[in-house]
Structure 1
Amino acid sequence: MIDRIARVTAHVVTIPREVPYLGPLRAGEVVNRAGYIVRQGNRTLYPTQDRSIVLRIDTEAGLTGWGETYGIVAPEAVRAIVDDVLAPVLEGRDPSAPAVIHEDLYDLMRVRGCFGGFYLDALAAVDIALWDLLGRRLGVPVSTLLGGRRHARIPAYVSGLPRASLAERVDFARDWQARGFVGFKFAAVVADEGAEAEIAALRQGLGPQARIMADLHWKYSAAEAIRLIRRLEPHGLAFAEAPCAPEDIAGQVEVARAVGVPVALGEELRTVFEWLPRLAARCMAIGQPEMGHTGITEFCRIGALCHAHHVALMPHAAIGVGLFMAASLQAASAQQGLPWHEYQHSIFDPNRHLTQPTGSTHMTCESGFYTLPDGPGLGVEPSPALLVQITA
């Protein structure tokens, strides 16, 4: 008998943090009444707490699938889309075809211009939950549903060095190096003495074998980015991420052709329709899909596009409780060209207790590698600590 979707619910989860994302506040940065700050380095809004959207799909037969999406800014917008648009369409539907359902939901709002932003974030949460549900029903991990696991372990690089001074950031990176990590990414937005001074100090502190990356956070014009990256190259820059505005495809192409290191892009892009013109223009050597924006279906289609364009896949990792992180690891493990996966240590480690394994092992990140959970579906599910928040 066909099981059908009985209920779809979305929950906003808030997790306090001692230090805001990207580190302490800089000069001119203040917390507004909604709890946000505008980082002066890239004029972008960030929360002072971790927030996410957790989505639950229950079937008539009593099965449950869990999803999650990006919710750090205006999370109620995503929840409203789920409650008002998606849940009524999904209820009563057979959940066993996640990709087909994703396409149908995408079609609902395209003529109104909703083929990105919060609407696609909501679709990502639904998509992850449907894949989780299917894996649980069949008793296999999502990676098996996607064709099989190529990588039992995934190399991880340390992302972000949230300390107040450059000396403290170098010491912090060295602590991670002592734990077995060899890749480190700094944020130009909070490199107070400049990106060149930042990478020079990190290179001196970490030695010649360390892989050092720079996240430029869309801060520069193409010309400015080219000049900066060329100054960073002598210090052994591994790649330059997000050099100029995400809508400036021509500028991204200009940067990619003018510098001697790979350019990484893509965390803000949600569908193959956004990825294809950038890949065709050859404006990146590394693609960084963010599971919280794409969902599993689009993530895998993006991975196939990157493979066809000889672009390495290096998934992004955003603020979340761990459900879409598990989805990212499951989907990434089935990809071929996978040199690294981002490791947001200030999020993954303190929030890991919010999930528990569906099998015998939990996801971990130690000694420079992610280890995947072995249970069915995503391999993880909300722990009692998280269930308390979403059932209150």
Structure 2
Amino acid sequence: MKITSIECFPIRLKGHPYVGGHTLSRGREDVGRYVQHDHYRAIYLKEAQTFMVKMTTDDGLVGWGETQAGAVPEVLPILVKELIEPRLIGADPFDREKLRDLLYDQMRERGHESGFYVDAVSACDIALWDLVGRATNQPIHKLLGGTRRERLPCYVSGVPADSVEEQIEAIEGWLERGFTRFKISLGFGVAADLDHVERLRNAFGDRIEILIDAHWAYELSDAIRVARGFERQGVSFIECPLIPEDPHLSSQLVRSIDLRVALGEEFRTRYAFKERLRQRSMDLAQPDFGRLGITEGWRVIQLCHAFSTPVAPHLGSGLGLYIAAGLQIAAATPDLYLIEYQPTQYEASRDLFPDLPTPVDGYCLIPSGPGLGLAPIEDQVRSFTIG
């Protein structure tokens, strides 16, 4: 079996904003197609966007892959066509790990150990695994060693709202549907964040589990203060409280508090995780498999297992293939804590991926077919493709 073609699909879907767990009302200023959040450094999406690849072999098999393209997905087809496709055309998808490493190696010494290039590699890596799964009629979690669980415990991410009262109302709706774990996007200052959580606790008591995403907003001293307050309020973890570049800083925080510190969505190699695991910079790892791909993502899972660090895979602004890759790896992960459920992204995926299983009663469901377990409606993919 040999790869004969790779097609690229940078995609944009109107009407599906992604603003870091908030509504567009949190936008401070427009940055072209994007919006600057009023408290966070990162730009966010006014409309859903992503990048997919379709890989075809000489015997007619098709594999799909997707990366989380949080900005300018139009960049990625150039990287695939100029740097990745020449390596993969004529290659055997069963050599997937070797091929991923070959692609990574050809640019790593030029500083491309992260960013757009690695994202493009990861999309193609996922498509390679999808092809192998379809060729063997096995889901990817079987290729990774087997299913450790039939359902994946999840948390509802963000709960976008324009006020705490509106958020409480939304959480009530989720409770009625059997969901009890919620990640709340904060990072607005120690007093504001503690007040927000207190109001949620007053409304729900112990009926809900609260997780906090701090969006890299804190300095160390304030991170310690707010985390100690969260401990008293029964919060389960604080995600990304400090700048991502300094593992030593995060290690100081981990040593100073009892609350679990979660990190990892922004990293694209096992080397970034290795350094933070070695320095004990995290209590909970959050690999994003749309950014890592399946080959490197599974290496991260094994590394976390060696360091006895539980895993809560990150699922951000991608669509159905990206979600499915995360679900497949999570199903085989030995130390799974929770997986992220982004209702906005499931909703944005519906027109393209009608077979994406809807989470039920606090659990995500694993697509049941071979490879990733699902494929998009190709006509829909083409209709949303830009450029």
* TM-score range relative to shorter protein: over 0.9
Following superposition of structure 1 onto structure 2, how do residues 109-148 of structure 1 map, counting pairs within 5 Å? 109-148=107-146
User: Within the alignment, does 1:287 sit opposite 2:281 as a pair?
Assistant: no
- Matched with 1:244 is 242
Partner secondary structure for residue 210 of structure 2: strand
- Matched with 2:300 is 302
CA distance in 1: counterparts of 2:187 and 2:223, whole angstroms: 13
Following superposition of structure 1 onto structure 2, how do residues 38-77 of structure 1 map, counting pairs within 5 Å? 38-77=36-75
- Matched with 2:268 is 270
- Matched with 2:30 is 31
Deviation, 1:380, is 0.6
Pick the aligned partner of 2:156 from 151, 154, 158: 158
Is the contact made by 2:11 and 2:381 (CA closer than 8 Å) also made in structure 1?
A: no
Partner secondary structure for residue 106 of structure 1: helix
Deviation readout 1:183-223 (Å, 9 max, x if unpaired): 10100147998211111111122221321011001111111
Partner secondary structure for residue 156 of structure 2: strand
CA distance in 2: counterparts of 1:213 and 1:127, whole angstroms: 31
- Matched with 2:364 is 370
TM-score relative to the length of structure 2: 0.95
CA distance in 2: counterparts of 1:270 and 1:27, whole angstroms: 28
Partner secondary structure for residue 30 of structure 1: strand
CA distance in 1: counterparts of 2:265 and 2:118, whole angstroms: 13
Matched pairs, number: 385
Deviation, 1:81, is 0.8
Following superposition of structure 1 onto structure 2, how do residues 88-103 of structure 1 map, counting pairs within 5 Å? 88-103=86-101
CA distance in 1: counterparts of 2:91 and 2:17, whole angstroms: 43
Deviation readout 1:279-318 (Å, 9 max, x if unpaired): 0011111100011100111111101111111110100001
After superposition, the Cα gap between the structure-2 partners of 1:126 and 1:149, relative to the gap in structure 1 and judged at 3 Å, is same
CA distance in 1: counterparts of 2:295 and 2:26, whole angstroms: 42
After superposition, the Cα gap between the structure-2 partners of 1:76 and 1:60, relative to the gap in structure 1 and judged at 3 Å, is same
CA distance in 2: counterparts of 1:257 and 1:217, whole angstroms: 20
After superposition, the Cα gap between the structure-2 partners of 1:297 and 1:258, relative to the gap in structure 1 and judged at 3 Å, is same
Deviation, 1:28, is 6.9
* 2:147 partner letter: R
Pick the aligned partner of 1:107 from 105, 108, 111: 105
After superposition, the Cα gap between the structure-2 partners of 1:117 and 1:350, relative to the gap in structure 1 and judged at 3 Å, is closer
CA distance in 1: counterparts of 2:350 and 2:361, whole angstroms: 17
* 2:30 partner letter: V
After superposition, the Cα gap between the structure-2 partners of 1:225 and 1:83, relative to the gap in structure 1 and judged at 3 Å, is same
CA distance in 1: counterparts of 2:17 and 2:69, whole angstroms: 18
Deviation, 1:40, is 2.6
Deviation, 1:388, is 3.8
After superposition, the Cα gap between the structure-2 partners of 1:54 and 1:96, relative to the gap in structure 1 and judged at 3 Å, is same
Is the contact made by 2:9 and 2:382 (CA closer than 8 Å) also made in structure 1?
A: no
Deviation, 1:178, is 1.5
TM-score relative to the length of structure 1: 0.94
Is the contact made by 1:9 and 1:82 (CA closer than 8 Å) also made in structure 2?
A: no
Structure 1 unmatched runs, 5+: none
Deviation readout 1:317-348 (Å, 9 max, x if unpaired): 01122101101101110011112100011111
Pick the aligned partner of 1:87 from 79, 85, 88: 85
CA distance in 2: counterparts of 1:100 and 1:269, whole angstroms: 21
CA distance in 2: counterparts of 1:284 and 1:193, whole angstroms: 24
Deviation readout 1:32-82 (Å, 9 max, x if unpaired): 3x2111113121111201100011111122111000001120212222211
CA distance in 1: counterparts of 2:116 and 2:289, whole angstroms: 14
Partner secondary structure for residue 313 of structure 1: coil
CA distance in 1: counterparts of 2:147 and 2:139, whole angstroms: 9
Deviation readout 1:117-167 (Å, 9 max, x if unpaired): 111111110110000000001111111111111110000101002111111
Which gives a bigger RCO, structure 1 or 2 (Cα 8 Å, sep 6+)? Answer: 2
Is the contact made by 2:155 and 2:179 (CA closer than 8 Å) also made in structure 1?
A: yes
* 2:235 partner letter: L
Deviation readout 1:14-41 (Å, 9 max, x if unpaired): 1122555233345771223x21111131
Deviation, 1:9, is 1.8
Deviation readout 1:344-383 (Å, 9 max, x if unpaired): 11111342331144xxxx4221110011111111001002
After superposition, the Cα gap between the structure-2 partners of 1:290 and 1:307, relative to the gap in structure 1 and judged at 3 Å, is same
After superposition, the Cα gap between the structure-2 partners of 1:324 and 1:382, relative to the gap in structure 1 and judged at 3 Å, is same
Is the contact made by 1:287 and 1:313 (CA closer than 8 Å) also made in structure 2?
A: yes
Is the contact made by 1:356 and 1:380 (CA closer than 8 Å) also made in structure 2?
A: no
Q: How high is the sequence identity, in percent, across the aligned residues? A: 36
- Matched with 1:172 is 170
Following superposition of structure 1 onto structure 2, how do residues 167-246 of structure 1 map, counting pairs within 5 Å? 167-189=165-187, 194-246=192-244
Is the contact made by 1:166 and 1:191 (CA closer than 8 Å) also made in structure 2?
A: no
